[in-house]
A and B are shown apart, each in its own frame.
Chain A
Amino acid sequence: MNFLPLWRYQNQLVDGAIVTLELTVISALAGLLIGVAGALALKGRIAPLRWLVRFYIELFRNTPSLIQIFIVFFVLPTFGLKIPAFEAACVALSLYFGAYSVEIIRAGLDSIPRNQLEAGQCLGLSGWQVFRHIVLPPALRNAYPAVTSQFVLLLLGTSLASQVAADELFHVAGFVESRTYRSFEVYAVICVVYFAMAMGFKALFAIIATAAFRWPRRR
């Protein structure tokens, strides 16, 4: 076992980790927007929109995300839509994370009792005000644990982007391995890096939760 040959590739590995973080955070934010919009559409009155969102959820939750990335990267260009590897991975992973987020956020919205909405309506608030001030904060709290664990799955799933040669951590590891022939060492190192990033996010989410959700839970 010899970790020393890896040393000269430390900059590439750090850059790879940064690309992994970028992929994760961008896809998570875009996916969350999809999640909120999709959840509202699912609860909305426009039936064709509901069917469309349903179809989207089922499609992206029941196909391999590797193939989703391939389709965005390899298949879309044949229709004239050429996207670089990083951006393609972002699009595919956003759609993947979005599909799960829709369901998680819809469940969060459904967890708010109807009488909370009624109380808001009866005080003369508009539909948007009821949603924004009365439904959304407790719904986010209820959805939060599921969103954060899905986020960690997304972080680990970004390694799939290596297959379209996006310069994220796993792809860099493959490159370093081919140069050093130190397979065990390189994968051991990035394993620790993934683990550390995941634990770091976990700690960060816990801090955010304590700051954002200050009200006592129902007994």
Chain B
Amino acid sequence: MALVEIRDVHKTFGKVEVLKGVSLDVEEGEIVTIIGRSGSGKSTLLRCINALESVDTGEIRVEGRHVHARMPDLKKFRQRVGIVFQAFNLFPHLKVERNITLAPLLTGRIDKARARALAEDVLARVGLADKIDAWPEQLSGGQQQRVAIARCLAMAPHLMLFDEVTSALDPELVGEVLKVMEAMAKQGMTMILVTHEMGFARNVADRIVFMHQGRVWEQGSPAKLFANPETPELASFIASAK
């Protein structure tokens, strides 16, 4: 059984059908990168996986459990699935430590005595141990995004979703975030990424999924997809992304 099973998912916003029957499996420990033009439905698909959006028809299962906005234990489920957003979404009124420990404390994952140690641990993993007492506003975009990743890691998720996490960053800050993600990949985290970073997709992903017009248009290993795209749409996308 795959960790994530997506079966014939349809999703419509108003009159626009964003997902037109998407099916996709992601195995435990796999790194899957979703690429495609804006409007192809990649972010929507990602948001459906942790029930931020509900699907109209079709089914999404994670660890065998049917995912939807009214599922019992939605909160428990979301503690097991981390998501990192394009806009970081750190809480501006909380210092870095509290940003990280808020959810573990409120959900009872850890007690107060161990909170700081947890924050130190996950910050070390993203290379920001010295920023534990900083306000988010005092950090660069790249640092904020790494704190956002650390905040997810503090929940010890089984699956990480990344929604264009480098798109809002200045070019010189992209590398530090990708490096953190690469390290997570090496440690065996299951990851689904929506990204425009073709270099990262090529080097780190086990599989690349090309979405086009609300469908999975083509998928396969990076080597195969980049070298021999089967469809003209993917060929032209790769050409334009270079």
Question: Which of A's residues lie within 8 Å of B, judged by CB?
Answer: 115-116, 118-126, 129, 133-134, 137-138, 141, 213, 215-219
Chain A binding site: helix, strand, loop or mixed by DSSP?
helix
B234 lies within 8 A of chain A by Cβ: no
**Bound complex: CA of A138 vs CA of B95, how far in Å?**
13
Can you name 8 extra interface pairs (CB under 8 A) apart from A118-B89, A213-B93?
A115-B89, A116-B91, A123-B107, A124-B78, A129-B106, A133-B91, A216-B137, A219-B137
How far is the CB of B154 from the nearest CB of chain A, in Å? 9
The closest CB in chain A to the CB of B82 belongs to: A122
25 contacts between A and B (CB under 8 A): A119-B85, A119-B90, A119-B91, A122-B52, A123-B78, A123-B102, A123-B107, A123-B151, A123-B152, A124-B75, A124-B76, A124-B77, A125-B75, A126-B75, A137-B93, A141-B93, A213-B93, A215-B93, A215-B94, A215-B137, A216-B135, A216-B137, A216-B138, A218-B92, A219-B137
B33 lies within 8 A of chain A by Cβ: no
**Bound complex: CA of A118 vs CA of B161, how far in Å?**
14
**Bound complex: CA of A200 vs CA of B137, how far in Å?**
32
Chain A residues within 8 Å of B145, by CB: none
**Bound complex: CA of A212 vs CA of B11, how far in Å?**
43
How far is the CB of B54 from the nearest CB of chain A, in Å? 13
- CB of B85 within 8 A of CB of A124, answer no
Interface set, chain B 90-106, CB cutoff 8 A to A: 90-95, 102-103, 106
B155 lies within 8 A of chain A by Cβ: yes
A215-B135 contact given A116-B89, A125-B106, CB 8 Å threshold: yes
- CB of B91 within 8 A of CB of A124, answer no
B143 lies within 8 A of chain A by Cβ: no
A121-B78 contact given A116-B89, A133-B102, A133-B106, CB 8 Å threshold: yes
Chain A residues within 8 Å of B92, by CB: 138, 215, 218
- CB of B103 within 8 A of CB of A123, answer yes
